[in-house]
Amino acid sequence: MSMLRRTRTILAAGVIAAIALVPAVTATSASAMVMDPVKSTDILALSWTRHYADNGLPFWYGSPGVAYLDGNGSRPSIVVGDEKGYIWALHADDGSAVAGWPYRFGAAVMSTPSSIGHGATAMVFVGTGESPHPTLGAYAALHANGTKAWALSPYLLPGNRGGHRGVMSSLAVGSIQHSVDVVGGAMGQMQYALRGTNGRPLLGFPWLQADTNFSTPAVSNVAGDSRDEIIEGGDSTQGIAGIYHYTNGGHIRILSSTGNAGKRYKNQGLVCQYNTTEVVQSSPAVGGFLASGRTGIVVGTGHFYKTASDRYKVIAIDTSCRKQWAASLDGNTGGSPALAMGIGPGTNGDHLNVVMMSARGTVYALDGATGHRIWSTALGEENESSVTTFRAGSETYIIAPTLHGAYILKGSTGEVVQRIGDLRMRNAATVTLDRTTNGHKVIGVTIAGSKSTGPNGLMQGWVEHFVLKDPALRDPAPGIDLGAGQWPMFHHDAQLTGDIATVARQY
């Protein structure tokens, strides 16, 4: 049943060692950057940059996460991993390194870090590993001071057989069986949900996912009980495992918080499942976007089965896994959707709608209730990444990453208003509330990617941070909810719940 799918065309130079010198880190002034000319209509201005001499192993699929690691936990930090295995933590307001970081893993970090807590008790969770080296990697957690809390390498097969496999999925944090649990897919047949504090498998896990899973799960109480269910995509290869006969394609499934506990077979415990004809490597978004505000699940598919009817689709289901609508885009939909208010003109923006970018670089605004296209904007930049959103004044803005920086579009019309940076991006931009010297808060946007600035043109890692130019849009009040009708980062919030109902509060 296991068929490891290669999602990259650029392979690592070799097996990554567990210990190495930290790459040189340099700060670059805004004036030294090669950027688009500053225009009066620009809404964001470059604040700081960081350059990492990682020589061909830069930031790749993992997006910048958000954590509150030092002091009293009121200062947001950007946490991001690279292909060399480092995970970096930088203060969002000035780009300075958080004490004790970076940490070096023995495998690439291709996932987006999640976090929980504030200050010294905060924890960061991450999946490590990449498909060219599938036997390397783990589910892992770090303390706020950048030291390892725990790590667990999943097995390929049930019964701890088949050797270890890595984890490219990001780890969502939720109350699955305890107050802090994490879950993510793995590059084998077994999926683990773990206690956040110690990394021990939860009751009913590992669960037999029966194929590779790159999809970051959403966690949400969609069953109306007291615990979060696990909502995820997955791959499927024809064959029989446990009680199921699988066909070529994929799944959108809701897994019980108790996994296979009390069941005869390792792949029992589903609440429900919707089967697709194409792999589902996109990460689902959950929220009340269906008609009458009903909770729905929306996700893209992938591009493995070339003649599949669900190729290039965005699919929405309800919490009983019944298909509500499907929309066809002009390219692969392996990136992940966002939910946001303010998408579309007039009353279209009064409810949650879906925003998705195809691999051909076309951004789509889709009506949440019907899947009908509200508008689409072709950026002319092929890529496979995920969009994020933020609100400034009366407008919702969409951040669409490409291989030449990120485009800023108006949510109401799809009009492009600015391009920021010139990085090669395969991930999502992250929105934070930065503190200023006078105590105010200002919206900041962080992008991470690569440029050909290394020896012999090798790709090297860069992080660039931008802030809103208009001082009238700065808000001195603490506790602003960036997640109120917006999608400020990959999978919505610092816990990567993928649920827009989760409060993405930044202090």
Q: Is the pLDDT assigned to residue 38 strictly greater than 60?
A: no
Provide the domain limits for residue 452.
38-506
Read off the pLDDT of residues 284-335 as tens digits, 9 standing for 90 and up. Answer: 999 999 999 999 999 999 889 889 999 999 999 999 999 999 999 999 999 9
| Distance from C-alpha of 273 to C-alpha of 276, rounded to nearest angstrom | 10
206 within domain boundaries: yes
| Distance from C-alpha of 85 to C-alpha of 60, rounded to nearest angstrom | 11
Residue 349 belongs to domain with CATH number = 2.130.10.10
138 within domain boundaries: yes
Write down the mean pLDDT value for the chain: 88
Read off the pLDDT of residues 349-390 as tens digits, 9 standing for 90 and up. Answer: 789 999 999 999 999 999 999 999 999 999 998 888 899 999
446 within domain boundaries: yes
Q: Chain-centre distance of CA 507, in angstroms?
A: 21
Q: Is the pLDDT assigned to residue 399 strictly greater than 70?
A: yes
Average pLDDT over residues 155-173: 94
46 within domain boundaries: yes
pLDDT band at 43 (very low <50, low <70, confident <90, very high): very high
pLDDT at 36: 54
pLDDT at 454: 63
15 within domain boundaries: no
Domain count, the chain: 1
pTM above 0.75, yes or no: yes
Residue 36 DSSP symbol? P
Rounded (5°) CA angle 154-158-162: 65
Q: Is the pLDDT assigned to residue 33 strictly greater than 50?
A: no
Rounded (5°) CA angle 214-217-219: 175
Distances (CA, A) of 176 to 180, 183, 222: 8, 9, 12
441 within domain boundaries: yes
Handedness of CA 478, 479, 483, 487 (dihedral sign): positive
- 124 touches 114 (CB < 8 A): yes
pLDDT at 23: 59
389 within domain boundaries: yes
Handedness of CA 41, 42, 45, 46 (dihedral sign): negative
| Distance from C-alpha of 36 to C-alpha of 49, rounded to nearest angstrom | 15
Read off the pLDDT of residues 111-147 as tens digits, 9 standing for 90 and up. Answer: 999 999 999 999 999 999 998 899 999 999 999 999 9
4 within domain boundaries: no
